[in-house]
Structure 1
Amino acid sequence: MSADSQPTQPLPDPGAQWVLSSPTPSPRRRRRWAWIVALIVVVALAIGAWFAGDAIARSIVKQTIREQAITQLSLPADQQIDVELDGAVLLGLIVGNLPEVRVASDDVPLGQLTADISVVAQDVPVHGGGDWSGAHATATLDEAQLEDLLATLDDFPADTVEIDAPDVAVTFELNALVTKVPVGVALTPRAENGDLVLSPASLRIADAEISAESIVQQFGALASTVVRDWDVCIAQYLPAAVTLTGVRVEPDAVVADFEIDSAILRDASAQENGTCS
């Protein structure tokens, strides 16, 4: 067979070269991945902005609480006040309340007295006019601060006060003819109708425990200052919305617990100090 009689094969089509090469990624798939990456970036930026905004809001709210505490309580401008806020502050401002606010300060002036104060309040309204779900305060008095408080009582030997957990120890002097007999009294504190009450738990003369009946038999009417309860009105030092609910003696301090009515947020009379009859 001659070359002229052999069938002629067609030349390869240049347009078909793509069949031999690697497939090109689908534009649709590329666009889909681009949107996912963009979404991740946007979410990351939004989260970062949220936390940045929350940090700024937290700082502003803390500063505002400090300034209000100093103003409302007439505290010195340099009074150290620690403020802690739980939860997302920015979200709390949006919904209208802060989940939990904790405020603490040492040596807070309460009239002529001082005490270390801490306050915890839940669901605190930020726009005014609302109620919180609960608020409690704790006042801690060391021996010197307790002495200042008890010095307001007539005929009470406050300069002999000592903290002797679970009681408060004090020494009375009873006149026996030409001599004075020191009587040691352990007083147990309690809260009663919003007042602090100190009741004698035990009595001692010359390191020997003695009963209340024996004291009365020996000293008669003079023993009335030893065997009696001592009522300490503290309403004059506190806003009317603050009520004493419990007292305990710890190794180095007397700790008093208070409940705070949310009326203090909006009622001027609840913000004013109470009175003692």
Structure 2
Amino acid sequence: MSDDNRTLPYPDADAEHPTLVIPGGTDGTDAVAAPRRRRRRWPWVLLIVVVVLALLAVAAELVVRSMLPGVVRSIVIEQLDLPADQQLDVQADGILLPQLIGGRLDTLHLSTDSVTLEGITGAVDVTASGVPLRGGDLAGAEGTIRIDESQFTTLIGRTDLPIETVALDAPNATVSGSVTVLGIPIPISLTVTPGVAEGDLELTPVGLTIGGLQVDADQVGSSLGSLGEEITKTQRVCIADQLPAGITITGLEIEGSEAVIDVDVDGAIATDSALLDKGVCPQS
């Protein structure tokens, strides 16, 4: 054959017609595809349940915390016979739901800027512990009463001191008035340090001024006789009959222009109405 009619070679099968690979097949054999693994959903369901329960607990806590002050305020106002519009702040410590289930509040704070109890007006701050929700005595309670100069004057008004005005200047109080000697009124100012002894107020003299001149207390006692001795001795003042019987004074300090009285409250005051009545001072 001539070179003009040469036989052409067959095309390379691997280059122009590649062999197709069947998915899933291996070495030309069929293979069964592995089934898809099913996801576990229960951890997500449990997480959702926990979140929902937590949200419900938070909501319940908020509801209880918003309702409690109004309930406590109503009870206190009724028991103490206070005006219906009496300002009273109430705050409970800790998480309330477990305490409500247990039937007792751990700690309850009551405070007001001004309240009148048995004729004495002042700012009161009381903390009660172990407050029963289904009746019963308090585990305990204590607090402070802050009074101004006019109220402090009322408290010590039954002493033998010549009291017309009282000025508070920490840590002392200065009592001013006049005494009559030979028919002549003599202005006198006595500076005392207030305190508490066995539930009574105690006023210890630390300075004396007569007619604008500072004098020695011993000289006054000797020159004015029994009158001078009464003025310059330590005074004890019972004020139990000016407070509810369930309240006992445990301390007294002058802070600035206020007298700060520490009190202890009998836990039975929550169940014994007699402890809400005025106390009694012994007859002198």
For the aligned pair, the TM-score class normalised by the smaller chain equals 0.7 to 0.9
Residues 248, 255 of structure 1: 8 Å contact kept? yes
Mind listing any 5+ residue stretches in structure 2 that lack a counterpart? Answer: 1-21
Deviation, 1:229, is 3.2
Structure 1 distance, partners of 2:166, 2:247, is: 26
Deviation, 1:182, is 2.0
Is 2:69 the counterpart of 1:62? Answer: yes
**Which residue identity lines up with residue 196 of structure 2 in the other structure?**
A
Pick one of 207, 230, 234 that aligns with 2:239: 234
Structure 2 distance, partners of 1:145, 1:131, is: 29
Aligned residues: 257
Return the TM-score normalized by structure 1.
0.84
Structure 2 distance, partners of 1:174, 1:158, is: 10
Pick one of 135, 138, 145 that aligns with 2:151: 145
Residues 58, 90 of structure 1: 8 Å contact kept? no
**Which residue identity lines up with residue 241 of structure 2 in the other structure?**
Q
Give the 3-state SS of the residue equivalent to 2:31 in structure 1: helix
Deviation string 1:131-167 (CA, Å, 9 cap, x unpaired) is 41x310211001122223334x266444310002111
Matching residue of 1:16: 31
Structure 2 distance, partners of 1:242, 1:112, is: 15
Structure 2 distance, partners of 1:206, 1:122, is: 52
Deviation, 1:38, is 1.5
Given the superposition, is the C-alpha separation of residues 59 and 219 from structure 1 closer, same or farther in structure 2, using an over 3 Å criterion?
same
Give the 3-state SS of the residue equivalent to 1:16 in structure 2: coil
Deviation, 1:81, is 0.2
Return the TM-score normalized by structure 2.
0.82
Is the radius of gyration larger for structure 1 or structure 2? 2
Residues 108, 128 of structure 2: 8 Å contact kept? yes
Pick one of 99, 115, 121 that aligns with 1:92: 99
Pick one of 193, 205, 210 that aligns with 1:188: 193
Structure 2 distance, partners of 1:142, 1:173, is: 22
Q: Percent identity?
A: 34
User: CA RMSD of the aligned region, Å?
Assistant: 2.3
Is 2:44 the counterpart of 1:37? Answer: yes
Instruction: Choose between structure 1 and 2: higher helix proportion.
Output: 1
Residues 73, 90 of structure 2: 8 Å contact kept? yes
Structure 2 distance, partners of 1:115, 1:237, is: 13
Query: What pairs up with 1:1-277 in 2 under 5 angstroms?
Result: 16=31, 18=33, 24=36, 26-27=37-38, 30-31=39-40, 34-132=41-139, 134-151=140-157, 153=158, 156-177=161-182, 179-277=184-282
